[in-house]
């Protein structure tokens, strides 16, 4: 059968398939046949539910071939319809094979439709022009996302999940609520007047705009129409008649129409929409975001419309309701046509002489017509986000124009027409292309007071004459390239913004100066003359200042001074003793001491963290009686000054941060002098005790942080702190659980990494307790009763309960990780992480962090799916840049509808054997978008591996966003949404926000000690060097991660903060190969010894031990499950039941891995699996409750590391591929169980060998919660022997609903599991049965085959 060559004809077809059997029913996807157009028959369409081999072969022949999914209009009639359900609808989805040259007209002709529509990101729908090429649109979109390979682009274009981002319709989809807002119409019984003199009659009734329109004759729209204005009127229910409304206009001569509806639904629709109209004070019609090409003709009956909002539509010119007909609105004053992609200015709008406000931003204009000068009443004109380079001179005729916005255009100089517009007091030209700041031009505009030139290309400043400017009061020059700035000629300047330039010197006039913002420059001198007597706020942080300017010390009204992140060595006495200063920020300098205070000062906030202070002034607290906030963290303080000189303290201090100093127990009595203290941080000091009598007097305390000290107990008098809601005391030596469970407002308790052995708790816990962290307490034993009492806690984090065994196991010596996440001042945690210590058959590791800023849904989705996507991509490409980029792009697509409006930063680190560099054992590949970062500690020095994608820190990305005409608001956010330029999700902000990651790869060496992953909040408060120095000597990775989060919070972080610390040991001394002297453990029941060269120091269980984030989303599980597609195929390799025993290969470690057969084994990430449970603990598919499962009636969640799969080589061994005898019973006695694959699996009914040795997983850092049950509220409890919900880590429950479609895996109920209480009996029977069988003399080769096989050390 010959090949079909692409030609000018439209949708092409693959070779003609053979005729299907008559019994075969057509599927949901149909392939459009090219012969259909020739024979004119629509019945020759061949429908298929998926690609066949012929279709695939046809596509592979040319990358310019592809397919377009065509949806029916009814798939988007409601907003609740998800992408996945729409994609699976067999009656509404058509598959059209075509090429990139196929125009819309050909597809329409072949499909028998008039036109096609394109919807982006589930939002607006626009009609495609006949010459547009749908497949080329898809390819361009994927290329814009970041796909480079044409073959991969072709594959992605054929994925139906792409419909969440880009979708084609054969008919225009309409949502019911949008239709109601545009127009309501129908034939109903109508009666005019309030009395019953008039009779009921059927009439056409229309509600459009601000009026009720009633025809004089039934079904007649051309005759007389009765118009009833509703603004300010009334809509009332007529009680004497069912489903009847009375519409009344406003005014003394108000008219009334009674309309009777047939159904309750119609009655409610009309009442809802008309009530919105009558509640308005002015005649405003809002038709924004309706995908309109024209307004309904009935809208022109509403002659009282004064403001019309048509933002985000696709308005056309020459249409019955197009822009050229808007002159009919005789009273129109305000018109918003922004984001309509008009391309050219609608000239007929200039005939609407009543306009006072016109918004035409983001329409792609390159010039303006001269007729714009006819809008003489225009007061506000917005032209932002276009391509304008000049303004017409006729614009100067608009003498009433008081606001002109031309930001984010292509102007290279200030237009001269500003000189004629005398009513303008602002020049708003942010985001243009000005390179020279010409003050002479501004001097000619005496009416201009505010100048906004931020985000231009300003490099130099020109002063044409010495004449000063007495008019400009506000100047904004942020985010430019200025090196020197002299604005001393602006004698009336009150406010200056010049942040994020390259300024070395700044000179200003101080006559009228009130506020100065000059942070993030290179300033060494700031000159202001004369002394600014009106200055109230001065911000000079992140510069190179060595001293505070003298003029700042003499400013009499200064209230806020920020000189942090400079090179200061002292604070002038005149500053600290100022009688006006209320907030002083001098952190991150080199100040060695503060001057003594002599007089009382009004200072309220003092931040002196990260200096070289050894003591504070003795009179600080006695003279600064208004001081409420003091942060002296990261100094060398050894003592604190007294808070009072007499018997009674007058201190008003409420927040005190003293973390990371040298304070001892002697400082504690001083704290009693601050009776109003609410927040106290004393972390990372040298405290050994906290006197009970002193803590008893801090009755107002709400938050107490004592972590990182040497405390052995928390005083019992903490029970008197009735307002305490947060206690953080991790990384101490506490052995007795403090008496905090009596506190009525306690919410968060962190006692991890201590020496707790038991907990004495009351019978009832406080209802406010939400988070209890007990990880890292290796000797802690919790009774079953205690676990029941803890079951209602939202998040309970504990270690795995050690199980007694004689089997010796080997833990991984290459890397271990610790994770800490803290919500801070917010009530929800929007940071998630993934940690897989054994990834890709145990020869690698994956660590990631995701920060959703204000949403928690996307981080959870990425936590569950991204490692799976990476595993699939690694199988397809060995190029780290390629598979990492594809991992991010595919994860972006898999977010589905959840990713349309929400976004998340993402960071992924992949450690794998290095095949490119023979001198290195492993390589580290890091990819990120957004603000999450990774830092490698190499030889004690930090090595940044990530890139921060934000407008403030990446000028290249900021320029890209500007070139694509995004509007960047004054708070530096793209369209006012996010400061990031690259994220996963936020698809509606494409092409400004992209998912393409920054990727870096580095070979790991023996000098690489650890890897730190952190979100934005962590790195905003900790430098790379400080973070590395803080944890490089901490033995436990969990304690290290906790320390980083604690430091960030003590340094001022109030947001969500997350940190992950990965300890690396990739040198040859970490080798655990058998050839290096490692003795393998023997079978269960036989003692064996293991000799390891230079064994690592024992550490506490790592962070992943109990840190299992709880799924808590506003979206239901079923909603998200329909929105997020499957992460990968469900195919697995299986072996037969009659397969023989494996030959035992030589044991290898990850440094020297055994070559694998390359068979892809799918592994989900190490995340928290959850499934909806009924009241009896059943899943939706279960018939009987699982014996011994403890549940509180909602769901059971278990954190499992399912990547440490023992026995992967069991499936791929040559011994299993042959006809080998059945495994002997002795091997079963060693713990080898068999799981039967379910019927819905690809290979049903096949048995798989499954390791049932829990002790091998017990000591793995990433499986410390394996035998814990996480209840519906997030609590994790260790299970007793009778509560073994999951017997082995290789068998995670199959997730059929929820946030993601989990891979096909063995169900727990399908495994052959022997209860622990019967194990000995079974082993005895097996042994007896084995002894009764004749046992041949094993040869040397046979002994090798029968020896037990062990995978890489866990």
Instruction: Report pTM.
Output: 0.78
Number of Cβ within a 10 Å radius of residue 465 = 9
pLDDT (0 to 100) of residue 418: 95
Q: What sign does the dihedral 795-796-797-800 (CA atoms) show?
A: negative
pLDDT (0 to 100) of residue 44: 29
pLDDT (0 to 100) of residue 371: 94
407-413 LR contacts (CB < 8 Å, sep 24+): 407/431, 407/432, 407/452, 407/967, 408/384, 408/432, 408/962, 408/965, 408/966, 408/967, 408/968, 409/383, 409/384, 409/385, 413/438, 413/441
Contact in structure between 783 and 807 (CB atoms under 8 Å): no
What are the tens digits of pLDDT across the range 174-226? 777 677 778 899 999 999 887 666 788 899 999 998 999 998 876 555 567 88
pLDDT (0 to 100) of residue 1152: 55
CA dist 387 and 852 (Å) reads 34
Tokens of 1098: 């024992």
State the DSSP H helix or E strand holding residue 998, giving kind and residue range, or none if neither.
strand 998-1004
Interior/surface letters 2-21, b for 16+ CB within 10 angstroms, e for the rest:
eebeeeebbbbbbeeeeeee
- Reduce the DSSP state of residue 1186 to 3 states and report it: coil
CA dist 618 and 1217 (Å) reads 82
CA dist 81 and 1123 (Å) reads 9
Contact in structure between 513 and 488 (CB atoms under 8 Å): no
Beta bridge partners of 1060: 819, 1013
Terminal-to-terminal C-alpha distance of the chain: 56
DSSP letters along 1102-1163, please?
-GGGT--PPP--SS-HHHHHHHS-BSS--------TT--PPP-PPP--SSSPPPP-------
Tokens of 1075: 């050839």
pLDDT (0 to 100) of residue 73: 62
Q: 């059929």: which residue's tokens?
A: 1296
Tell me, rounded to whole angstroms, the distance of Cα 604 from its chain centroid. 36
Q: What sign does the dihedral 189-191-192-193 (CA atoms) show?
A: negative
Q: What angle do CA 955, 960, 963 make, to 5 degrees?
A: 120
Tell me, rounded to whole angstroms, the distance of Cα 854 from its chain centroid. 8
CA dist 702 and 768 (Å) reads 14
pLDDT (0 to 100) of residue 33: 36
Burial tier of 926 (Cβ tally within 10 Å: 0-12, 13-18, 19+): buried
Residues 6 or more apart in contact with residue 346 via CB below 8 angstroms: 317, 323, 324, 337
Q: 């956010």: which residue's tokens?
A: 973
What are the tens digits of pLDDT across the range 282-310? 889 999 999 999 999 889 988 889 999 99
663 phi, psi to nearest 5 deg: -75, 145
- Could you give the C-alpha distances from 788 to 745, 792, 802, 1275, 1276, in angstroms and in order? 21, 8, 19, 10, 11
Tokens of 1321: 């009996």
Segments of the chain with pLDDT less than 50: 1-49, 75-91, 805-811, 1072, 1074-1145, 1147, 1150, 1155-1312, 1335-1354
pLDDT (0 to 100) of residue 23: 35
pLDDT (0 to 100) of residue 247: 94
């Amino acid at each position: 059968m010959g090949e079909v060559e692409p030609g000018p004809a439209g949708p092409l077809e693959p070779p003609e398939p053979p005729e299907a059997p008559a019994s075969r029913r057509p599927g949901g996807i149909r392939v459009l046949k090219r012969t259909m157009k020739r024979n004119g028959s629509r019945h020759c369409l061949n429908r298929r539910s998926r690609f066949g081999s012929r279709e695939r072969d046809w596509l592979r022949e040319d990358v310019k071939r592809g397919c377009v999914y065509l949806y029916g209009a009814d798939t988007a009639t409601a907003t609740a319809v998800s992408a996945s359900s729409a994609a699976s609808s067999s009656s509404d989805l058509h598959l059209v094979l075509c090429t990139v040259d196929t125009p819309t007209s050909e597809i329409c002709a072949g499909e028998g439709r008039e036109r096609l529509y394109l919807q982006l990101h589930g939002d607006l729908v626009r009609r495609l022009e006949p010459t547009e090429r749908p497949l080329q649109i898809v390819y361009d979109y994927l290329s814009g996302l970041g796909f480079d390979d044409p073959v991969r682009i072709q594959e992605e274009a054929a994925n139906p999940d792409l419909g969440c981002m880009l979708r084609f319709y054969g008919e225009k989809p309409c949502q019911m609520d949008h239709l109601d807002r545009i127009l309501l119409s129908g034939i109903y019984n109508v009666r005019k007047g309030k009395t019953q003199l008039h009779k009921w009659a059927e009439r056409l009734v229309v509600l459009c705009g601000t009026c009720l329109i009633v025809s004089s004759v039934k079904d007649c729209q051309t005759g007389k129409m009765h118009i009833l204005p509703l603004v300010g009127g009334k809509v009332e229910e007529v009680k004497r008649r069912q489903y009847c409304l009375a519409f009344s206009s406003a005014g003394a001569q108000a008219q009334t129409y009674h309309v009777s509806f047939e159904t309750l639904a119609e009655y409610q629709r009309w009442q809802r929409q008309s009530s919105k109209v009558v509640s308005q004070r002015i005649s405003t019609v809002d038709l924004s975001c309706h995908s309109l090409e024209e307004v309904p003709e009935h809208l022109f009956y509403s002659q009282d419309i004064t403001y019309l909002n048509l933002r985000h539509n696709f308005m056309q010119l020459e249409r019955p309701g197009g822009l050229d007909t808007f002159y009919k609105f005789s009273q129109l004053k305000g018109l918003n046509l922004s984001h309509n992609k008009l391309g050219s200015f609608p000239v007929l709008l200039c005939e609407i002489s009543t306009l006072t406000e016109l918004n035409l931003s983001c329409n792609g204009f390159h010039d303006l017509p001269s007729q714009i000068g006819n809008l003489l009443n225009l007061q506000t004109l917005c032209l932002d986000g276009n391509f304008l380079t000049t303004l017409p001179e006729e614009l100067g005729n608009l003498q009433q124009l008081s606001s002109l916005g031309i930001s984010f255009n292509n102007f290279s100089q200030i237009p001269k027409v500003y000189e004629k517009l005398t009513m303008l007091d602002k020049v708003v030209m942010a985001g243009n292309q000005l390179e020279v700041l010409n003050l002479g031009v501004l001097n000619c505009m005496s009416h201009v007071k505010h100048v906004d030139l931020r985000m231009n290309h300003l490099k130099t400043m020109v002063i044409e004459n010495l004449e000063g400017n007495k008019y400009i009061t506000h100047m904004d020059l942020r985010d430019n390239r200025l090196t020197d700035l002299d604005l001393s000629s602006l004698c009336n300047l009150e406010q200056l913004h010049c942040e994020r330039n390259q300024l070395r010197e700044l000179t200003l006039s101080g006559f009228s100066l009130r506020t100065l913002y000059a942070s993030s420059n290179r300033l060494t001198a700031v000159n202001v003359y004369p002394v600014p007597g009106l200055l109230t706020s001065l911000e000079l942080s992140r510069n190179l200042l060595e001293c505070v300017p003298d003029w700042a010390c003499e400013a009499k009204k200064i209230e806020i001074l920020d000189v942090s992140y400079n090179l200061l060595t002292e604070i002038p006495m005149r500053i600290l003793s100022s009688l006006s200063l209320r907030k002083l920020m001098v952190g991150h300098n080199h100040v060695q001491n503060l001057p003594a205070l002599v007089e009382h000062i009004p200072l309220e906030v003092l931040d002196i963290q990260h200096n070289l202070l050894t003591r504070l002034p003795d009179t600080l607290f006695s003279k600064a009686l208004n001081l409420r906030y003091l942060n002296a963290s990261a100094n060398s303080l050894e003592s604190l000054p007294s808070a009072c000189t007499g018997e009674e303290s007058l201190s008003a201090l409420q927040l005190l941060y003293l973390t990371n100093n040298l304070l001892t127990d002697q400082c504690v009595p001083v704290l009693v002098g601050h009776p109003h203290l609410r927040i106290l941080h004393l972390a990372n000091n040298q405290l050994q005790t906290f006197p009970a009598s002193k803590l008893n007097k801090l009755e107002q305390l709400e938050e107490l942080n004592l972590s990182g000290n040497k405390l052995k107990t928390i005083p019992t008098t903490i029970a008197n702190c009735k307002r305490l809601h947060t206690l953080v005391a991790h990384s101490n030596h506490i052995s007795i659980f403090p008496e905090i469970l009596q506190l009525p407002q306690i919410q968060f308790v962190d006692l991890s990494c201590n020496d707790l052995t038991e907990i004495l708790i009351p019978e009832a816990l406080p209802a406010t307790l939400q988070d209890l962290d007990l990880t890292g307490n290796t000797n802690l034993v919790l009774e079953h009763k205690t676990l029941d009492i803890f079951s209602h806690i939202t998040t309970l984090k504990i270690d795995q309960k050690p199980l007694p065994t004689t089997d010796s196991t080997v833990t991984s010596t290459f890397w271990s990780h610790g994770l800490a996440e803290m919500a801070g001042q917010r009530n929800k945690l929007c940071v998630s992480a993934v940690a897989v210590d054994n990834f890709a058959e145990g020869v690698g590791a994956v660590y990631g962090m995701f920060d959703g800023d204000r949403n928690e849904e996307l981080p959870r989705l990425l936590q569950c799916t991204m490692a799976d996507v990476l595993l699939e991509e690694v199988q397809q490409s060995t190029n780290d840049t390629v598979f990492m980029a594809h991992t991010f792009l595919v994860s972006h697509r898999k977010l589905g509808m959840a990713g349309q409006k929400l976004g998340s930063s993402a960071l992924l680190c992949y450690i794998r054997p290095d095949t490119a560099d023979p001198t290195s054992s492993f390589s580290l590949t890091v990819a990120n978008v957004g603000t999450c970062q990774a830092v490698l500690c190499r030889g004690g020095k930090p090595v940044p591996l990530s890139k921060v994608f934000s407008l403030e820190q990446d000028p290249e990305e900021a320029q890209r966003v500007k070139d694509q005409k995004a509007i960047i608001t004054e708070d530096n956010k793209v369209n006012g949404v996010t400061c990031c330029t690259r994220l996963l999700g936020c698809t509606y902000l494409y092409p400004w926000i992209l998912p393409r990651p920054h990727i870096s790869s580095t070979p790991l060496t023996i000098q690489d000690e650890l890897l730190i992953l952190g979100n934005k909040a962590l790195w905003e408060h900790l430098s790379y060097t400080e973070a590395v120095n803080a944890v490089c000597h901490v033995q436990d990775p969990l304690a290290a991660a906790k320390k980083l989060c604690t430091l960030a919070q003590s340094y001022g972080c109030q947001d969500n903060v997350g940190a992950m610390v990965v300890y690396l040991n990739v040198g040859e001394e970490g080798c655990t190969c058998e050839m290096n002297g490692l003795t393998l453990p023997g079978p269960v029941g036989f003692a064996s010894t293991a000799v390891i060269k230079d064994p690592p120091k024992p550490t506490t269980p790592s962070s992943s031990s109990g840190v299992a984030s709880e799924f808590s989303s506003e979206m239901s599980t079923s909603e998200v499950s329909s929105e997020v597609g499957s992460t990968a195929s469900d195919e697995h390799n299986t072996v037969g039941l009659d397969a023989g025993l494996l030959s035992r290969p030589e044991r290898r470690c990850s440094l020297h891995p055994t070559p694998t057969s390359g068979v892809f084994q799918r592994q989900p990430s190490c995340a928290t699996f959850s499934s909806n449970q009924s009241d009896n603990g059943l899943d939706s598919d279960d018939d009987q409750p699982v014996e011994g499962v403890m549940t509180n009636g909602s769901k059971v969640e278990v954190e499992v590391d399912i990547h440490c799969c023992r026995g992967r080589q069991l499936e791929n061994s040559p011994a299993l591929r042959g006809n080998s005898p059945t495994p002997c019973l002795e091997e079963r006695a060693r713990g080898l169980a068999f799981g039967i694959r379910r019927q819905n699996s690809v290979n049903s009914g096949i048995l798989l060998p499954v390791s049932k040795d829990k002790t091998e997983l017990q000591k793995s850092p990433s499986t410390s919660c394996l035998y814990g049950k996480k209840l519906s509220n997030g609590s994790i409890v260790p299970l007793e022997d009778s509560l073994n919900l999951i017997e082995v880590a290789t068998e995670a429950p199959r997730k059929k609903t929820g946030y993601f479609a989990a891979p096909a895996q063995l169900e727990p109920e399908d495994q052959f599991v022997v209860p622990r209480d019967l194990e000995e009996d079974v082993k005895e029977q097996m042994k007896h049965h084995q002894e009764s069988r004749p046992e041949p003399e094993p040869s040397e080769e046979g002994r090798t085959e029968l020896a037990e096989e062990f995978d890489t050390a866990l």
